[in-house]
Chains A and B, each alone.
Chain A
Amino acid sequence: MNGLNLIEDHDKFKCGMEVILKAPGFSVATTPSEVVYTDDKMRLIHYIPTVEKQHAVPVLIVYALVNRYYILDIAPDKSVIKKLLEEGFDVYVIDWGYPSGSDRYLTLDDYVNGYLNNSVDMIRERSGSDKITLFGVCQGGTFSVMYSALHPEKVKNLVTLVAPVNFDTDKGILNLWAKGLDVDKIVDYYGIVPGDFLNSGFLLLDPFRLMIDKYVGMFDRIECNPQDIACNLRNEDIIKNFLRMEKWIFDSPDQAGETFRQFMKDCYQKNLLIKNEMELNGKKINLKNITMPLLNVMAEFDHLVPNDASKPLSDAVSSTDKETLIFPTGHIGIFVGSKSQKEVCPKISAWLKPRSFLNGSAKEEKTELANEEKPELSKEKRIKNIRKNRGSKVSKNET
């Protein structure tokens, strides 16, 4: 029996290696989209609708500067974006791009009051809606909070997903480590802070799991029954999903130095945001200016953004319509885990739908179907939709 187990482990490794050696093609960010606006290296991506009628208020997803937005569209069956489209939302995403040496002087103000504000204006112009729903994820959630406090007149709803606003907590290792960092020396030397430098920090959070056990676990999930075609397909799926995540984890853009400096010092080291003492270009960010409906979503086992870092947002704002949701999952699991599609996305959609009406606008009728089933668009109509968008390019998959 024991000898058989040893053979079984060896076979799993062999089967897994066979799939890897075939170099299975995999793609991420497969949901059809178009680039509707660019500003320096930033791209505003609009997703092609998949239902006949959409909710009137468009949704802008703002992701972090660390890693890339496509974790929200990592695979067709694990796509937060696809799910939102199916629920009838008009979805946009900001892709911050890859900053290079010439971007080292970009400030947090440039990101929030520049790129983000310009994107919001572009969406308002395109949709005819005065206000949009801001859906901020992780650090992008922090940016969205800053933006909503500075430009509340443009934000209809604010959704924050695993977004830190209180950085003075000993629950998160990153919060502890950041206190000991000499940020000035890092920025002064690098200028553009390398993504690999930050990645080495993330790997140090749990080196044995992230550098050894993760790879052992991949082979452990392999089934070995070469005669069974379905089993081979499942193995290929396991490897493809693993490679997708591997690509995302190590696809880390460098950080604009001045932005990194202010974010680390004002947020992680001085915790100014939650105290209403943080400034962007001399303008104070007062979280009490946030009066729009707020949905604050967290992951119970988040090791990067502990709940203590996100929860205080709900008390810091003036919104009367606010809700907090906590899911029993982790920081990444909330986007790609099994609960993401079954619980997280449906609950966010259910919260957003009744709040996606345009008050007193002719576009109100567009939302009549807000609580009804959305008929899916035929392939032909989708293609027609793509072609209709003049001057914009339908993006290629990130492979």
Chain B
Amino acid sequence: MEESSFESTQEFYDEWLKTYKATIGKFIEMPAVGPAREKSEKMMKGFSTFMNLYAAGMDTSSNLQTVFMEAMRKVQEKTGTEMNGEITPEKYKEFYNTWVQTYSDTFKEYSRSDHFVADMGKLNSYYMDFQQYQKDMLEENYLKPMNLPTKTEIDEINKELYSLKKAVKELTSQIKELKEKK
């Protein structure tokens, strides 16, 4: 079997992203004008947030595919000769054991690499940006106009509650100490 990799797929994504940034991306990141400029700028920011996540997702997926291709190649190398001819139940079992061992080892090796750490860090960071953006938009454009409480407001109350509880605990402990001294 001819060796395969996902390099060309990766190149395609890179090229696609470059083209996006040079064309539509520029238009989307253009400063907004007019009475609704604040809102519109925030809305437009969502495109770049999504694009970052999409690009990181493509990178990760392409890298993982390459790792799995490598694992598949190793499995084929190990089992290729043995699996010729009649396929017996023992061979199914052997094949399963080889498959799981090889995939597990190959993935573990990749997961220890700087490449994987950087990839996952980037994907996670862009995912959080995207989720945060969605939350902000939901609060701004739906919850606030509907006069409903937002998570941000609940968090403010939680913070206040936390400080109050802490103060009460400290005061209670001081009262207890004073009582014991008496």
Contact = CB atoms under 8 A, between A and B. Distances in A.
B89 interface: yes
Contacts of B132: 185, 188-189
B135 A180 contact: no
Contacts of A212: 100
Interface in B115-160: 117-118, 120-121, 124-125, 128-129, 131-132, 135, 151, 154-155, 158-159
A209 interface: yes
B50 interface: no
A21 interface: no
Interface string A190-219: 010000000000001111110011001000
Nearest to A7: B89
B128 A182 contact: yes
A294 B128 CA distance: 41
Interface stretch (A80-88, A98-106, A306-314, A379-387): A98-106
Contacts of B151: 191
Classify the secondary structure of A's interface with B. Answer: helix
B104 A180 contact: no
Interface residues of A, number: 35
Contacts, number: 80
A17 interface: no
Contacts of B179: none
Contact of B100 (A173, A205, A208): A208
Nearest to B108: A206
A330 B156 CA distance: 43
Nearest to A217: B100
Given A2-B88, A204-B111, A206-B108, A176 B131 contact: no
A277 B154 CA distance: 34
A173 B109 CA distance: 10
Contacts of A251: none
A399 interface: no
B125 A182 contact: yes
A186 interface: yes
Of all A-B residue pairs in the complex, the 7 with the closest CB atoms, nearest first, are A180-B121, A185-B128, A105-B162, A180-B117, A5-B89, A2-B88, A6-B89
Interface of B: 88-90, 92-93, 96, 100, 103-104, 107-108, 111-112, 117-118, 120-121, 124-125, 128-129, 131-132, 135, 151, 154-155, 158-159, 161-162, 165-166, 169
27 contacts: A2-B88, A6-B89, A9-B93, A101-B158, A102-B158, A102-B161, A104-B158, A173-B108, A176-B112, A177-B111, A177-B120, A179-B117, A180-B117, A181-B124, A182-B124, A185-B124, A185-B128, A185-B129, A186-B124, A189-B131, A189-B135, A191-B151, A206-B104, A206-B108, A212-B100, A213-B100, A216-B100
